[in-house]
Amino acid sequence: MSIGIIGTGSMGKAIAGLFADGGHDVYVAGSDPRKSEAAAQELASRGPGKVSAVPTAEAAARGTDVVVLATWYAVSARIAVALSDVLRGKIVVDISNPFNATFDGLITDHGNSAGLELQRRLDGSALVKAFNTTLAPTLQGKSFSGTEVDVFLASDHDSEKAQVAKLIGSAGLRPIDAGGLGNAGTLERMALLLVELQGRYGLEFAAGMKFLPGQSLSFPAVVAAS
């Protein structure tokens, strides 16, 4: 796949590296071109996919399959408005959590979510909520306490959600179907709890959410990618 990643922070770089490992061509962009170039150079040894630094609009355009908004919620909301035409018809992955300034609550109202707000701004795109319950140190290791890292996905677009699940699987992670986009708020509250727990136990963000079913698990066949 050809993937655009907007955001060159720890999460953006972790996701870019994972997708490059999965053999996909990745275009990274950020607000500072120097940081974008530094991120691409840092990830140059990953592969077999290639990581390239490009301007933000170009990352959205070159991500012909998927564009990941690996930015804070407020920034993602601005990008969604500014690039709505470029992103039309594409899969947009939202990793954001609408944390307040003290990281002990959410700024969205009950029943609403960052995912729903971004989908409203991107009515011509298929938004998939993913990676918001994973932390960068855990993603970088690909495994957690000897098990695969779980990535929860929520979307009202089942086919596109399955495509993102396949992409996540190719990167060595385990996709978990978390239902429709209405569940994005639940995932965001899960992330809020995860941040609180890792702080309470002094885990330096090396933590994750794990789903432990009583049987082997695969992404639901009803939304499996063709």
pLDDT (tens, 9 = 90+) of the chain, 226 residues, equals: 899 999 999 999 999 999 999 999 999 999 999 999 999 999 988 889 899 999 999 999 987 889 999 999 999 999 999 999 999 999 999 999 999 999 999 999 989 999 999 999 999 999 999 999 999 998 987 777 778 899 999 999 999 999 999 999 999 899 999 999 999 999 999 999 999 999 999 999 988 899 987 666 676 643 444 3
What is the model's pLDDT at position 177? 96
Q: How many CB atoms lie within 10 A of CB 137?
A: 17
Alpha carbons 42 and 46: distance in angstroms, whole number: 9
Residues 6+ apart with CB under 8 A from 8: 28, 29, 30, 32, 35, 36, 38, 39
The CATH number of the domain covering residues in 2-223: 3.40.50.720
| Whole-number Cα distances in Å, 136 to 28, 90, 144, 184 | 16, 25, 12, 19
What is the model's pLDDT at position 215? 63
Strands 66-69 and 150-153: unpaired
What is the model's pLDDT at position 145? 74
Please report where in the chains the tokens 């709890």 appear, as a residue: 193
Nearest partner of 53 among 69, 30, 72, 76, judged by Cα: 30
CB 53 within 8 A of CB 36: yes
What is the model's pLDDT at position 117? 97
CB 155 within 8 A of CB 223: no
Evaluated on CA atoms 185, 155, 12, 209, the torsion sign reads positive
**Domains in the chain: boundaries:** 2-223
